[in-house]
Amino acid sequence: MFDLSRFLLLANDRCNLRCKLCSESIPNHKPEPDMTVEQARKILKSFFETVDHIGKMHISGGGEPFLHARLPELIEECMVYRKQFDEFIIFTNSTITPNQELLDTLGKYSDVITVRMSCYGLYPEKERNLQQLFEANHVKYHMIKYSGEDQDYGGWVDYGDYVKYNRSEDELKRMFAECATKRDLNGNWRSRDGELHICTRSQRGMQLGLVPRVEKDYVDLLDESLSVEQKQEKIKAILTADYITACDYCSGDYGTRDKRKRYPAAEQIEK
Ligand code: SF4
């Protein structure tokens, strides 16, 4: 049995908010076209051929997934693999009103899908309206407090700009071992285009050309020349690596227990 903790299908890079500490650096870059249903189908097929079981299936945007016009179809594509995951989580910034088709799809799978509502308090009325819509349509949801005192996780982490820090090997090994990506999540596995990365910083950094493209740091799920066993070996090699290239382009603060390194969530960049 080849297990991973989680898998995030990154549906789109578009967002209606402009968060200063966006972990995906969305406000600073032009979005690429949204993932198509056909792309999602190929990625999911290869992923679930390679991995027997995951704990958590996510659809996430680098940006806001509720902006994806074909989100109900993406959900249906994921549900083909229902037996291979335990939970299904969709995050939203709680500012977009879903259409009836999306509400129906979320309600239909409420035994497994939970919508995690990040509640930043920027538009409290929208958050309340969304909650009411979910209640009325039998959508399972969980509200996460990201405003005022006692923010979830103590607030957000600043991953920093993608500058190269030129850290020593020992520093990089320590960072990777102590990072929540590895220590707590056993990999925050994700794909936007078929490349499977262990960390947002690696996936997004390479997508933007801000982290050097190093082949050993990702698995090309769509590479038909690789067998399932070869893909599994590559995944294991990433999990057991001393560190990944992206660690030298990262603050390393993800997972820090130092509360001084947490910041108010979703602070907006002035237009
Ligand atoms: S790049 Fe940063 S967030 Fe990713 S594993 Fe390395 S230290 Fe952790």
Distance 234 CA to ligand 1 centre (A): 18
pLDDT at residue 271 is higher than 80: no
Distance 148 CA to ligand 1 centre (A): 27
> Is residue 239 very low, low, confident or very high in pLDDT (cuts 50, 70, 90)?
very high
Closest by CA to 186, choosing from 23, 12, 51, is: 51
pLDDT tens, position by position, 42-53: 999 999 999 999
- Residues 93 and 105: their CA atoms lie apart, in Å, by 19
Distance 169 CA to ligand 1 centre (A): 14
What's the CATH superfamily of 3-256?
Aldolase class I (3.20.20.70)
Kindly give the number of the ligand 1 atom that is closest to the alpha carbon of 252.
Answer: 7
Please list every protein residue whose CB sits less than 6 Å from any atom of ligand 1.
175-176, 179, 181, 199, 201, 244, 246-247, 250, 252, 254
Q: What is the pLDDT of residue 154?
A: 85
Q: What is the pLDDT of residue 64?
A: 97
pLDDT tens, position by position, 2-18: 999 999 999 999 999 99
**Lowest-confidence region among 107-111, 230-234, 261-265, 267-271:** 267-271
pLDDT tens, position by position, 56-109: 999 997 899 999 999 999 999 999 999 999 999 999 999 999 999 999 999 999
Kindly give the number of the ligand 1 atom that is closest to the alpha carbon of 199.
Answer: 4
Q: What is the pLDDT of residue 211?
A: 98
> Could you state, in order of their start, the residue ranges of all structural domains in the chain?
3-256
Which H, E and C letters describe the chain, residue by residue? CCEEEEEEEECCCCCCCCECCCCCCHHHCCCCCCCCHHHHHHHHHHHHHHCCEEEEEEEECCCCHHHCCCHHHHHHHHHCCHHHEEEEEEEECCCCCCCHHHHHHHHHCCCCEEEEEEECCCCHHHHHHHHHHHHHCCCCEEEEECCCCCCHHHCECCCCCCCCCCCCHHHHHHHHHHCHHHHCCCCCCEECCCEEECCHHHHHHHHCCCCCCCHHHEEECCCCCCCHHHHHHHHHHHHCCCCCHHHHHCCCCCCCCCHHHCECCCCECCC
> Is residue 270 very low, low, confident or very high in pLDDT (cuts 50, 70, 90)?
confident
Distance 178 CA to ligand 1 centre (A): 9
What does the pLDDT average to over 179-203? 96
Kindly give the number of the ligand 1 atom that is closest to the alpha carbon of 246.
Answer: 1
Q: How far is CA 86 from CA 6, 53, 192, in A?
A: 10, 8, 22
Closest by CA to 265, choosing from 149, 116, 128, is: 149
pLDDT at residue 256 is higher than 90: no
Distance 236 CA to ligand 1 centre (A): 17
pTM over 0.85: yes
90 within 8 A of 74, measured Cβ to Cβ:
no
**Lowest-confidence region among 19-28, 45-54, 66-75, 231-240:** 19-28
Q: Which residue has the tokens 């500490």?
A: 21
β-pair partners for 141: 115
